[in-house]
Structure 1
Amino acid sequence: MAFESNFVTFIGNLTDDPDLRFTQGGAAVASLRVASNRRWTGKDGQQQEETTFLNVNCWRELAENAAESLHKGDRVLVIGRLRVRSYENKDNQTVWVTEIEADEIAPSLRWARASVSRTSGGSSGGGTNNDFAPPPPSDDDVPF
């Protein structure tokens, strides 16, 4: 197996509740939008701020758990792979999108508390190598 180097960790707040949908094949997919603010002091001594918005996609059990557990405004940590894709919009213009295909999503405990409850049917990881989620369905099965 080749070394996977396309990993990113992104921390921010959800801009909306997760949007849970299902593909025609029955696979759950959730879309999340995460905003992260960066603040700094400029050369002139004035406070500056920049906000980065990223779309996050997660699949199967992770999608269902995220949709049930997370809400607008929640601070989250997302670990996954950056994905760049393009599509044609209504005006036949090519639109490029950078997003994260999530392997892990967790609530941030910096300014909040969370309780954990296991779901049935999930893998406990005992004896198998489940470090990475299986790849998402083919593009033919994506509901957007």
Structure 2
Amino acid sequence: MAGETIITIVGNLTRDPELRTLNNGSVVVNFTIAASERRFNRDTNQWEDGDTLFLNCSAWDSQHAPLASNIANSLAKGMTVIAQGRLTQRTYETENHDKRTVVELRVDQIGPSLRRATAQVTRQQNSNAGQFGGFGQPAGYTGGSAANTAGTGVTDPFATSGDPWGVGGFGSGGTDTGEPEF
């Protein structure tokens, strides 16, 4: 849709994501991200927090991507996240018949910040992914090296022997190769 305001926010989750299933069967998750500006005060020689923005967010499961469920299963209060989505405005009426308007972030993409943390990502298999597996790969491609597809009857068309990116650990042998991490 034209004129949408797309933003990216980096901040901490203020509470555990709350997953709900609506009467119509739709699945939504709600959470709040708190983002603060940090600046260096040269007078005190210390870092200081600026004003904090608390942004209410929502994400929905779709037929092709269980985003809301993935958020609820992967993220928790206190985690630093990077979220991208569309600002939306919603108007509602209170019990006293007062009209209120709120601005929320409808999240399209989200993940943990790896600046001060690590994450173990598990790619979900999607039977509705279509011709390219939902991730730009040919149908049937399961990722990794040929060793990862052993016994599945699927051959990795992109695997090469000794592929350092297709196996765990460092390099192809699982030991430190002396190459710097990046």
Sort the TM-score into its range (normalised by shorter chain). Answer: 0.7 to 0.9
Q: Percent identity?
A: 37
Number of the residue aligned with 1:81: 86
Task: Report deviation, 1:48.
Answer: 5.8
Number of the residue aligned with 2:37: 38
TM-score (norm 1): 0.77
Task: Report deviation, 1:92.
Answer: 1.8
For 2:78 and 2:49, how far apart are their aligned partners in 1? 22
For 2:95 and 2:27, how far apart are their aligned partners in 1? 26
Whose Rg is larger? 2
Number of the residue aligned with 2:152: none
For 2:106 and 2:75, how far apart are their aligned partners in 1? 17
Number of the residue aligned with 1:141: none
Q: Secondary structure of the equivalent of 1:36?
A: strand
Number of the residue aligned with 1:64: 69
User: Could you list the runs of 5+ residues in structure 1 that have no partner in the other structure?
Assistant: 128-144
Number of the residue aligned with 2:168: none
For 1:82 and 1:113, how far apart are their aligned partners in 2? 29
Question: Structure 1 residue aligned with 2:122, among 117, 120, 144?
Answer: 117
Is 1:98 aligned with 2:103? yes
Aligned pairs, number:
125
Amino acid at match of 2:74: S
Question: Structure 2 residue aligned with 1:108, among 88, 106, 113?
Answer: 113
User: Could you list the runs of 5+ residues in structure 2 that have no partner in the other structure?
Assistant: 138-182
Q: Give RMSD over aligned pairs.
A: 2.3
Number of the residue aligned with 2:27: 28
Amino acid at match of 2:136: G
Contact 2:16–2:75 (8 Å) recurs in 1: yes
Task: Report deviation, 1:120.
Answer: 2.6
Task: Report deviation, 1:30.
Answer: 0.3
Number of the residue aligned with 2:5: 6
Q: Secondary structure of the equivalent of 1:77?
A: strand
For 1:52 and 1:3, how far apart are their aligned partners in 2? 26
